[in-house]
Amino acid sequence: MILVLQKGITEEEIEQLKDVLRSEDYLIKEIKGVEETILGLVGTVREDLRHYEVMPGVAKAFPISKPYKLVSRELHPEPSVIRVGPVAIGGDRLAVIAGPCAVEERKRTLEIARWVRQCGAVLFRGGAFKPRTSPYAFQGLGEEGLKILAEVREETGLGIVTEMTSPTQADLMIKYVDLVQIGARNMQNFELLKSVGRMRKPVLLKRGLSATIEEWLMSAEYILSEGNDQVILCERGIRTFERFTRNTLDLTAVPVVKSLTHLPIIIDPSHATGIREKVSPMARAAIAAGADGLTVEVHPEPEKALSDGPQSLYPEQFKQLMRDLYVIAPVVGKQLDFKYLEKAKMMGKPSEPGTKPKKVVYVGVPGSFSHKACRQFFGTEIPHENLPLFRDVFEAVQNGDATLGIVPVENSLTGSIHENYDLLLEYDLHVVGELALKIQHNLVGHPSTSIDDIKRVYSHPQVFRQCKEFLAGHPGWDLVACQDTATAVRRVKESNNREEAAIAGKDAAEIYGMTLLREGIETCPRNFTRFVVLSHGEFLDGPKNKSSLIYSVSDQPGSLYETLKIFAEKRINLVKLESRPIHGKPWEYLFYADIEVDIRDPQYRQVLEELERKTEFLKILGSYAKGFDGTDDTGFGEDHGSTL
């Protein structure tokens, strides 16, 4: 049963209500939403709904129709994000778990861990206890394998995922493991499910070989009913009559599960297909279907693997898969972040004595595209604060009120956001990162609104330009500019006027409980906004492969050409060049340039010196890493005895 609480109810009143419900033997789950707080009750309902609706502080009561209560979206409408150390599964960033099927020996396990870590995996999988069909097959190294996994975590920073096969292993799991896996064969081992429910560690629950989705969710209910709500579902293929693959990967489970439960879902394409050549295509399809992540088996010599070699990717195949996912993820509103763990480590460090706690600032309100970019780049572990103006973001970082800021600088359809380029020149800040956010615009209105009712539409001015073809079909609409898209949705929500609508993203519509009247109304679907991250100092260690510059040249024929010639002769790729007027100096210009090298690297010292000679003014805005850098500093090689 769900109890919707009255607005304005105090914490003391909520606790008093809980005490009454506990006396009636209910397990209680409190969920705070944007506009309301609800209590989910699990137990035997002995009274009619009126009994609960007259309780102090209760606005409405209604039953949960699903047999799984705690797992259901009826109880928990918002998607859950499960944290495994610094890694969040179910949020805006994809989580890729990778490693061998089984821990075989120390040296090889560490080699694989170094490789998958370099390629962007955030958790490391490896079985120490292996339930096998044959009693004569390799059963795992047991605690010795767990010790090797602990060494992997110590060296690489990767959290550890391994399978638990018996309640007697609980103490070992608590000691060594970050994410406990329940395998397909044990999905309905109810005593095991109760055991991991009491352990309070995150759990990866695989779907059984022939289990229905409802049976799978009921198994998750066992874990949650013991008090552990940190459950991640894993679809790994089900057994059918088809024999061309090991199992049949049920990708329809992704949207179905997301509609039924708040728990995140990841896909195991390795066990689903059992064939190496099929793993990457199905992994790509899984992300396109909306999965929150993957678990993939990787081995440098699969023909020698003690378990599941035929389905293990070679390291180079895994590297290529991660590059592919980096491209696919933004299309479904997510990011594959190759610096995920580095960012988490940096942001998790205590603030220096005498400095303010770490904080990130962005322009707009929750639900705006700037807010989404902030979440995708930084995650949600560090506090975020929204500010009304771009200048406010620069000021906050400059003055030390915020650790980092994120601002948009250009859109693939409408070009540069000139205000922010001018502010980059004005403030003494560094560009330390970038993110390209896929933008999808939707017409958002009240649930009862039809397009024929609309007379007024709110959004950001650039959004109107990005949706000009759709808007051209409705010339009678009055277009009203707002600070950002989420503010536009909020205004429509507060007006309660069916004649008004907004153009915004799905996040804003969900936050304010509004309806998508039309989806994808931007003129071109290849609509991306580039954001840059601002810092007073350096942000992340490690290699950088992109630099942003501002410079001016003399008013002489060929002066700009002379600067471009420097880049051309050194084979430096120039990916952006744009002129901006110099304020107060009519008809004089600055040039903003992005180049694909770290201009501060000693090997480019001569380039920088030549550029300084050929320019009248030069400012390096920053050097940073862009996306997947393709480096091969992976740990595989002669020094580690690899045969690759």
User: How far apart (Å, rounded) are the C-alpha atoms in residues 370 and 364?
Assistant: 7
Identify whether 403 is a catalytic site residue.
Answer: no
In the chain, list all ranges with CATH 3.30.70.1140.
2-62
In the chain, list all ranges with CATH 3.20.20.70.
82-338
Query: What ranges make up the beta strands (E) of 82-191?
Result: 82-84, 87-89, 95-99, 123-125, 159-163, 179-182
**Model pLDDT, residue 136:** 60
**Model pLDDT, residue 134:** 72
**For the domain bounded by 542-626, which CATH number is listed?**
3.30.70.260
- Which residue is associated with the tokens 């209604």? 62
Q: What average pLDDT score do residues 333-347 get?
A: 89
- Which residue is associated with the tokens 């997301």? 258
Count Cα atoms within 13 angstroms, Cβ side, for 17: 27
Domain 442-524 sits in CATH 3.60.10.10: no
- Contact indicator for 160, 123 with CB cutoff of 8 Å: yes
User: How far apart (Å, rounded) are the C-alpha atoms in residues 561 and 566?
Assistant: 9
Class of 82-338 in CATH: alpha beta
User: How far apart (Å, rounded) are the C-alpha atoms in residues 114 and 158?
Assistant: 9
- DSSP annotation of 72 reads B
In 3D space, the residue among 232, 296, 243 whose CA is nearest the CA of residue 265 turns out to be: 232
What confidence category does residue 410 fall into, taking pLDDT thresholds of 50, 70 and 90? very high
**Model pLDDT, residue 638:** 35
Lowest-pLDDT choice from 155-164, 372-381, 630-639: 630-639
Indicate which residue of 378, 390, 464, 531 is catalytic.
Answer: 531
Q: What average pLDDT score do residues 47-64 get?
A: 83
In the chain, list all ranges with CATH 3.30.70.260.
542-626
Q: What average pLDDT score do residues 626-639 get?
A: 45
What's the pLDDT tens digit per position in 362-392? 998 899 999 999 999 998 878 899 999 999 9
Indicate the average pLDDT of the chain: 90
Indicate which residue of 529, 563, 615, 634 is catalytic.
Answer: 529
Q: What average pLDDT score do residues 562-588 get?
A: 91
Structure tokens at 470: 């759709």
Identify whether 531 is a catalytic site residue.
Answer: yes
Assess whether pLDDT exceeds 60 at residue 174.
yes
**Model pLDDT, residue 30:** 81
Assess whether pLDDT exceeds 50 at residue 642.
no
- Contact indicator for 186, 154 with CB cutoff of 8 Å: no
User: How far apart (Å, rounded) are the C-alpha atoms in residues 174 and 200?
Assistant: 9
What's the pLDDT tens digit per position in 455-511? 999 999 999 999 999 999 999 999 999 989 999 999 999 999 999 999 999 999 989
* CATH H-level, domain 2-62: superfamily: Phospho-2-dehydro-3-deoxyheptonate aldolase; domain 1 (3.30.70.1140)
